[in-house]
Amino acid sequence: MNARDEILARTRAALADVTPSDADVQVPWTYGQPVEVGDVLATFVERVEDYRATVVRCAASELPAAIAAGLKFTGTDKAVVPTGLDPEWLSAATGVRFVSEDAGQLGNDDLNRLDGVVTAAAVGIAETGTIVLDHGPGQGRRALTLVPDRHVCVITAEQVVSGVPEAVARLRPSIAARRPLTWISGPSATSDIELSRVEGVHGPRQLYVIVVG
Amino acid sequence: MSEQTHQRLTPAPPSGQLIDSPRFPVAAKHELGNAQQRANLRHATHTIRDKRARVVGELDNWEQLRLAGEAIKNKVLRNLPDHLVRLEASLTANGATVHWARDAAEANRIVVGLVQATGSHEVVKVKSMATQEIELNEALEDAGIAAWETDLAELIVQLGHDRPSHILVPAIHRNRTEVRDIFREEMGRYGTPAPPDLDDNPANLANAARGHLRDKFMRAKVAVSGANFAIADTGSLVVVESEGNGRMCLTLPDTLISVVGVEKVLPSFDDLEVFLQLLPRSSTAERMNPYTSIWSGRREGDGPQDVHVVLLDNGRTRALADREGRQALRCIRCSACLNICPVFEKVGGHAYGSVYPGPIGAILNPQIRGTASEVDRSLPFASTLCGACGDVCPVRIPIPELLVHLRHEVVEAKKADHGVHLPHAEPLMMRSGGWVMGDHRRLEAAQRASTLGGGLLGRFTDHLGPLPWPLSAWTSARDVPTPPTETFREWWRRVRGDDPGPAASGDTPAGHTPEETR
């Protein structure tokens, strides 16, 4: 018997005592419900800041200036631009050199020489201060928000939901389209030394979030 | 630090096999002698306990989440063949290649073969309990492939020629100064050295790890990971992490091989809304961990294009066959039970002789490895049965009940070994105890005998160390207070001699007046 069939046979034998009614487990949970967090946007901002990320809010018309300020604040000189990002967003950041992948993907070492990235986002979660990327247009392939050391991330007010259940429900179409998902809660961090949290390991050490609207 | 054996590519772990570890009480005694480790563990476990209590307290529906987590996992386990077949189909449809491994040796053979097929002589690794369990790194080393651990704590363990002692924080037994010394000494031998002036500030230590691993990430062609969850309906794997080393491994190489225990399957993507609330709060005691990666096989133009998943049994179906014991397979490896455990706090993880230490290890190892080894037979007894582990478990595994259940299994296994029912010290003592306590005269006589000993010994010590057999079974791991110099009955007569009380039987000495009232 091959390994697959043998493991499945072992599994069936192991469960010989389980009756159909035992197997029909009811999960006492209603999926996709909002959670109570009060002001969703205010909570989102507060919780993202708790991770020592920087958060600013602006109106849609102020976005290019806010992005320019974010790049300056984080000290970004050379930034990669994801495919599909609205060029208007970068119009105010005059001192920054932008590199696109329109002519083909950058190698890891090329990417490693850039110091920042500007992206859009898919969903924000207030209760946990989380941003989810589904790597659709304007968010870039996964490496772009990983290798450069600074991430300026733009999220709209409508994208922010109360809690994890609503976020999972909203991400259903993305996962159905087989898109990868990256959930980001603050800059990279570790608690591996004496269980005390240190921000900044391999992922971007600075996360700068702009909430629009 | 250790001798360099010939031609090794990666730092050598300690010699010997985990399964040959001594019995828990023997190993515990050794570990308890390490005062530095005890201090490190106490500091770390108390820090995380308090943090966990705080973030769990933020959620009004924590108990509902636990009930949901328990039910979802029960649903998976009781229908495991169906979910595995669905998972295989959806992963395959997403462009991943699914492999099945009956045991550690088979899993290692598969992974080694896949790496060899790429022509690469090194892999970067995401922290993974399953690959620790099958000792994949050594199998790769034997095949001339260097496996680089990239999680900070795993890196500390690997560079320190050490073994992990905790599920979440494998280097929990090390403090910052020890980490600095390991980094300074070892990093340069295996890649980018630590800065020469490296101090023991955790931020600087993390930065040294970033520098050391950066070019390994940039050049790696193959990565090996585990998975926290495998989603059957969408064919997705989930890795929950903090540092971004996981994302590096899951994103940059061309080939990704994930070794996943068969119990990791979840029916639906929707179920993540329960587990992504339970796991981070129970594990690192955060509202959410910094990074969670979810990928569905191969994605054109983004990440590894050669994607493999190895579904691992390695004793899990053995555990599944035990009606009670199968509940341990609900475990999501959060390590809350380790952090709360009074035994783990003192002894640390190495004494458990497994990559799964602490209360969950004490019930998981004897089930997935069986009860043939000395260490596995001793693990169900490595507990005070205080119950704290069961209370914090996010999927409501009744760890204390399973410990008792497995103690019974171990006793049965020993009996089967000996072929006959050998007299065991504990039932004998219980029987004679029952005889003594069955009659108040016998009890009083026994108590008087014990106060005599207490009066004698009390002049020298306040506790008794090891006693001769059969009492050694109890005292090998415990001190016994010296017996009191006066029994309760004697005290009662002395103090309340005039009041026989409802329980007294009329033989109280007459004319005895109390000296004092307490």
pLDDT of residue B201: 94
Q: Most A CBs within 10 Å: which of B162, B272, B310, B322, as the mutation test of the A interface?
A: B272
Model confidence band, residue A190 (pLDDT cutoffs 50, 70, 90) = very high
- Which candidate in A51, A171, A193, A205 is best for mutational testing of the B interface (most B CBs within 10 A)? A193
CA-based nearest residue in chain B for residue A13: B321
**Of how many residues is chain A composed?**
213
Residues of chain B with pLDDT under 50: 1-4, 504-518
Mean pLDDT of chain A: 96
Residue B443 confidence (pLDDT): 85
| Nearest Cα residue to B174 out of B155, B150, B193 | B155
Interface touch B218/A109, C-beta < 8 Å = yes
Q: Which of A18, A192, A194, A206 to mutate to test the interface with B (most CBs of B within 10 A)?
A: A192
CA distance A123 to chain B (A): 14
CB atoms within 10 A of CB A181: 25
- Look at residue A208 in the predicted model and tell me its pLDDT: 98
Crossing angle between the packed helical segments B35-57 and B272-283, to the nearest 10 degrees: 140
The answer to whether the Cβ–Cβ distance between A193 and B64 falls below 8 Å is no
Q: Which of residues 63-92 of A touch B (CB under 8 A)?
A: none
Q: Give just the sign of the alpha carbon dihedral B319, B323, B328, B330.
A: positive
Q: Which residue has the higher pLDDT, B484 or A72?
A: A72
Residues 132-151 on A with a CB inside 8 Å of B are 135, 141-143, 146-147
Distance of CA B468 to the CA centre of its chain: 32
A116 touches chain B (CB under 8 A): no
| pLDDT band with cut points at 50, 70 and 90 for residue A169 | very high
The residue-averaged pLDDT of A27-45 equals: 97
User: Above 90 in pLDDT, residue A17?
Assistant: yes
The CATH class that applies to domain A35-212 reads alpha beta
What letter does residue A84 receive in the DSSP assignment? T
What is the DSSP-derived secondary structure letter of residue A196?
Answer: -
Q: pLDDT value at position B421?
A: 60
Q: What is the DSSP string of B454-478?
A: HHHHTTT-SEE----TTTHHHHTS-
User: Are B317 and A108 a contacting pair at CB < 8 A?
Assistant: no
Domains of chain B: 16-74+326-422 (1.10.1060), 79-149+221-314 (3.40.50.10420), 151-220 (no CATH), 425-485 (no CATH)
Query: Is the CB of A204 inside 8 Å of chain B's CB atoms?
Result: yes
Is it the case that residue A201 has pLDDT exceeding 80? yes
3-state SS track over B332-384: CCCCHHHHHCHHHHHHCCHHHCCCCCHHHHHHHHHHHCCCCCHHHHHHHHCCC
Q: How far apart are CA A11 and CA A7, in angstroms?
A: 6
Do residue A178 and residue B296 have CB atoms under 8 angstroms apart?
yes
E-strand stretches of B96-235: 97-101, 122-125, 146-149, 222-225, 229-231
Q: Please give the pLDDT value at position B451.
A: 81
- Residue B500: its pLDDT value, please? 61
Rounded distance between C-alpha atoms, residue B104 and residue B313, angstroms: 8
- Is B300 near chain A, with CB under 8 Å? no
Residue B511 is predicted with a pLDDT of 43
Give the pLDDT confidence score for residue B364 in this predicted structure.
97
Q: Say whether residue A60 is in contact with chain B using an 8 A CB cutoff.
A: no
